[in-house]
Amino acid sequence: METKFHLDEATIDELQTLIQINLDSQEAFTELAENVKGDPLASYFTKLSQDRATQAAELQSLVADNAEEPSKDGTMTGAAKRAWTNLRAALGGGRHTMLCEAESEEDRIKHAYEDALKREPGTAVSDVLHRHMANVKAAHDRVRELRDREK
C-alpha cells in the first residue's frame, strides 16, 4: 500500500515533474516582478513566486522522504519562456504584456497539476496535489482577471 513515505516510482516521477514546473514558475514570477518594478503588480508577482517556492519545497520534501534526490532545477522550456518574456519586456512590453506572460505561466502549471491529478488519482499525495491545484487555480483566475482589466 502506498503511503507518503512509500511512494511508487510513477508517483515520485510525477512529483519530480511538478517540482520542476513549480521552480520554473517561481523563477518566472521573480523575473516578471523585476520587469514591472515600481508597479503594485510587482508585489503580487513576488507573492506568487514565494507561493511556488513553498509548493516546490513541499514536493521536494515528499521525494526526499522516499530516499530519492528531489529535482533542484526547472526545465529548459521554462528557461526559454523566461528569456522570451525578458525580451518582450526589453522591447517595451508593459503591464498588459507581463500579465499575458503571467497567464501563460499559470496555464502551464495549471495543466501540469491537472495532468498529475488525472494520472495519480487517489495516491498518498493527492491531498497535497489538490491543495496546490486550488492555489494555482485561484492565482490563474486572478491573473486572468487582472489581464482582462488591462485591455
Q: What is the pLDDT of residues 98-146, one digit of tens each?
A: 888 889 889 999 999 999 888 767 777 889 999 999 999 999 999 999 9
- Percent of residues, the chain, with pLDDT higher than 90: 56
Helix axes 95-119, 76-90, angle to 10 degrees: 170
Q: Which residue has the cell 520554473?
A: 24
pLDDT one-digit tens code per residue, 27-77: 999 999 998 888 899 999 999 999 999 999 999 999 999 999 999 998 888
Question: Would you say domain 9-69+76-150 falls under CATH 1.20.1260.10?
Answer: yes
Give the up-direction half-sphere exposure of residue 20: CA atoms within 13 A in the CB hemisphere.
Answer: 15
Predicted TM-score (pTM) of the model is 0.89
Q: List the domain boundaries for the chain.
A: 9-69+76-150
Place of cell 516546490: 56
